[in-house]
């Protein structure tokens, strides 16, 4: 047993020394390498191929891991940038609205008060907005509320720190108005369905057409003359009735209003020219 | 059994040239075929250690592009010597195996250096010892410890208890 063990060791040592000797002395390194290559080259080739395969698999795996982590980081970046983009867009829109409101306020020949919408009521029974201006700010009932596009409504209730603005399409809202082009007078009223109609338009004022702008008449003491109320989208001719009725598209989309101007004074002149078509 | 030992040597050499380089720490890579040779020698005795060491060394010589037979000889000697230890030391304990592996790596490095010196290897022993042999010996010790623990864990899971 012991003899076999040392015989094996001796054989291995001799083989190794033979290989080394053949490589360095036995006819020169080239011949030695040729001899060794006969036995080793197939194994080496196999090993090299396996090595390449394993290395390739390993690199693919590490690439996959890198790509995966990069992908996760990029997704997080993308999400963050999207949120930032939304915030920037929001700020930009707010800035745009405020600029238009400020421009209107500067043009208005009367005292105004800016307010921010803090609540909405859009049920069928009442349609209103809550503005963060109240009694302490000098707000009074029936004050007109406008934005750069036109009339929003009027102050219906005043509280200590807020006011309720009745919208044009509230079923109990009535505003005296005229067709700007023909000066045909009538009343703009809200409807339970949320629409707005221009009613009691005398038939002798016919010629009103879809697209006509309806503005406040200035009759009475509530609203200044010339504030855009809406545009005619359809005429309802009741045949033998004394009046025409027109369906209006409100000048102001109350659902999107976020800042308003409360008119605290009454101008004598027509303010229609202060409202540009795009606000 | 012999085939499985040779496959282990082959697999170790294959891993050494493919996966192990990615385990490099500060430019030092462990010598996986050597660790396998040592562990096999401890389990199977000097003959198996000698043969596996020779085969693994020969493959590493062949793939490394150096003189064929240098590592084959040094590893065969190291495997044989490691296989003789169980009769003399309590090599079943990891606290013996790991320093043993470190010392054996150093010894194998010195034998390899001696052989290469015969063929006018240019590097000095001091530089080689500090920069190559000792760092690799320490790495081998740590990796060997991990391998021993893995083998022990596998044995415990199979319901047997032995240190090797």
Tens-level pLDDT at each residue, chain A (279 residues): 678 888 888 998 898 888 888 777 655 545 555 665 666 667 666 766 776 787 788 889 989 999 999 999 999 999 999 999 999 998 888 888 888 888 877 777 778 888 988 888 776 666 888 899 888 888 998 899 999 889 999 998 888 888 989 999 888 888 999 888 888 888 999 887 778 988 877 766 567 888 999 999 888 778 888 899 999 998 877 666 666 788 999 999 888 888 899 988 765 566 766 776 554
pLDDT band at B76 (very low <50, low <70, confident <90, very high): very high
Place of tokens 């409100």: A250
Chain A residues near residue B77 by CB distance under 8 angstroms: 9, 13
Beta carbons of A20 and B69 less than 8 Å apart? yes
Q: Quick one: pLDDT at residue B164?
A: 46
User: What is the SS3 assignment for chain B?
Assistant: CHHHHHHHHHHHHHHHHHCHHHHCECCECCCHHHHHHHHHHHHHCHHHHHHHHHHHHHHHHHHHCCCCCHHHHHHHHHHHHHHHHHHCCCCCCHHHHHHHHHHHHHHHHHHHHHHHHHCCCCCCHHHHHHHHHHHHHHHHHHHHHHHHHHHHHHHHHCCCCCCC
Q: Quick one: pLDDT at residue A279?
A: 44
**Rounded Cα–Cα distance for residues A1 and B87 (Å):** 15
Q: Quick one: pLDDT at residue A151?
A: 92
Q: Quick one: pLDDT at residue A98?
A: 84
CA of B159, closest CA in chain A: separation in Å? 32
Helix (H, G, I), strand (E, B) or coil at A69: helix
Chain B residues near residue A16 by CB distance under 8 angstroms: 54, 69-70, 72-73, 76
Q: DSSP string covering A153-187, please?
A: EEEEEE-SS-EEEEETTSTT-EEEEEETTT--EEE
Minimal-distance CA residue of chain B relative to A6 = B47
CA of B125, closest CA in chain A: separation in Å? 21
**Cα dihedral B11, A32, B69, B61 sign:** negative
Q: Mean pLDDT over all residues of chain B?
A: 79
Residue among B19, B51, B62 minimizing CB distance to A58: B19
Helix (H, G, I), strand (E, B) or coil at A47: helix
**Rounded Cα–Cα distance for residues A47 and A45 (Å):** 5
The answer to whether B7 faces chain A, any CB pair under 8 Å, is no
Q: Quick one: pLDDT at residue B142?
A: 84
**Rounded Cα–Cα distance for residues A248 and A167 (Å):** 14
Q: Quick one: pLDDT at residue A232?
A: 92
Give φ, ψ of A240 to 5 degrees: -85, 0
- Of residues A166 and B125, more confidence is placed in A166
Beta carbons of B76 and A20 less than 8 Å apart? no
Minimal-distance CA residue of chain A relative to B53 = A12
The answer to whether B73 faces chain A, any CB pair under 8 Å, is yes
Residue among A13, A18, A47 minimizing CB distance to B14: A47
Beta carbons of B119 and A5 less than 8 Å apart? no
Beta carbons of B62 and A47 less than 8 Å apart? yes
β-pairing verdict for A259-263 and A243-250: unpaired
Residues in chain B: 164
Find the mean pLDDT for residues B93-98: 71
Beta carbons of A54 and B15 less than 8 Å apart? yes
Q: Facing residues of A246 across strands?
A: A198, A235
Tokens (6 digits) for B131:
């920069």
The answer to whether B6 faces chain A, any CB pair under 8 Å, is no
Q: Quick one: pLDDT at residue A233?
A: 92
Beta carbons of B47 and A12 less than 8 Å apart? no
Beta carbons of A54 and B18 less than 8 Å apart? yes
Residue among B50, B68, B76 minimizing CB distance to A23: B68
pLDDT digits (tens, 9 = 90+) for B29-52: 888 888 888 888 888 888 888 999
**Rounded Cα–Cα distance for residues B115 and B92 (Å):** 31
Residue among B15, B50, B67 minimizing CB distance to A9: B50
Interface ipTM? 0.78
The answer to whether B38 faces chain A, any CB pair under 8 Å, is no
Under a CB-based contact definition with an 8 Å cutoff, are residues B69 and B61 in contact? Answer: yes
Q: Facing residues of A199 across strands?
A: A187
Beta carbons of B67 and A24 less than 8 Å apart? yes
């Amino acid at each position: 047993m012991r003899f076999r063990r040392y015989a094996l060791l001796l054989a291995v040592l001799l083989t190794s020394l033979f290989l080394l000797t053949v490589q360095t002395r036995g006819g020169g390194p080239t011949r030695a390498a040729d001899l060794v290559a006969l036995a080793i080259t197939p194994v080496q080739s196999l090993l090299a191929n396996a090595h390449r395969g394993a290395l390739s698999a390993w690199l693919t795996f590490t690439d996959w891991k890198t790509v995966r982590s990069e992908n996760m980081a990029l997704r997080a970046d993308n999400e963050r940038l999207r949120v930032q983009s939304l915030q920037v867009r929001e700020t930009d829109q707010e800035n745009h609205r405020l600029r238009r409101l400020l421009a209107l306020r500067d043009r208005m020949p009367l005292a105004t008060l800016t307010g921010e919408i803090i609540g909405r009521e859009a049920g069928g029974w009442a349609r209103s907005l809550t503005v963060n201006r109240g009694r302490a700010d000098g707000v009074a009932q029936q004050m007109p509320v406008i934005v750069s596009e036109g009339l929003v409504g009027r102050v219906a209730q005043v509280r200590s720190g807020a006011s309720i603005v009745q919208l044009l399409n509230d079923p109990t809202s009535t505003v005296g108005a005229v067709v700007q082009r023909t000066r045909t007078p009538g009343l703009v009223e809200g409807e339970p369905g949320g629409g707005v109609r221009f009613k009691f338009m005398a038939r002798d004022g016919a010629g009103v057409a879809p697209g006509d702008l309806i503005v406040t008449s200035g009759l009475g003491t509530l609203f200044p003359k010339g504030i855009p109320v809406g545009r005619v989208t359809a005429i309802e001719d009741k045949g033998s009735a004394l009046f025409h009725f027109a369906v209006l598209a409100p000048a102001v989309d109350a659902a999107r209003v976020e800042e308003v101007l409360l008119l605290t004074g009454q101008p004598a002149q027509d303010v229609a020219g202060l409202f540009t078509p795009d606000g | 059994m012999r085939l499985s030992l040779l496959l282990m040597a082959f697999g170790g050499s294959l891993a050494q040239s493919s996966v192990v380089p990615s385990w490099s720490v500060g430019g030092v890579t462990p010598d996986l075929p050597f660790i396998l040779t040592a562990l096999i020698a401890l389990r199977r005795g000097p003959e198996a250690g000698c043969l596996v060491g020779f085969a693994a060394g020969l493959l590493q010589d062949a793939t490394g592009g150096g003189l064929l037979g240098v590592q084959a000889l040094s590893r065969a000697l190291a495997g044989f010597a490691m296989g003789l230890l169980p009769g003399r030391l309590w090599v079943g304990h990891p606290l013996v195996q790991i320093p043993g592996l470190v010392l054996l790596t150093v010894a194998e490095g010195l034998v390899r250096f001696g052989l290469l010196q015969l063929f006018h290897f240019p590097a000095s022993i001091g530089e080689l010892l500090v920069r190559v042999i000792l760092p690799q010996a320490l790495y081998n010790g740590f990796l060997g410890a991990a391998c021993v623990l893995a083998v022990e864990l596998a044995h415990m899971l199979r319901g047997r208890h032995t240190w090797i």
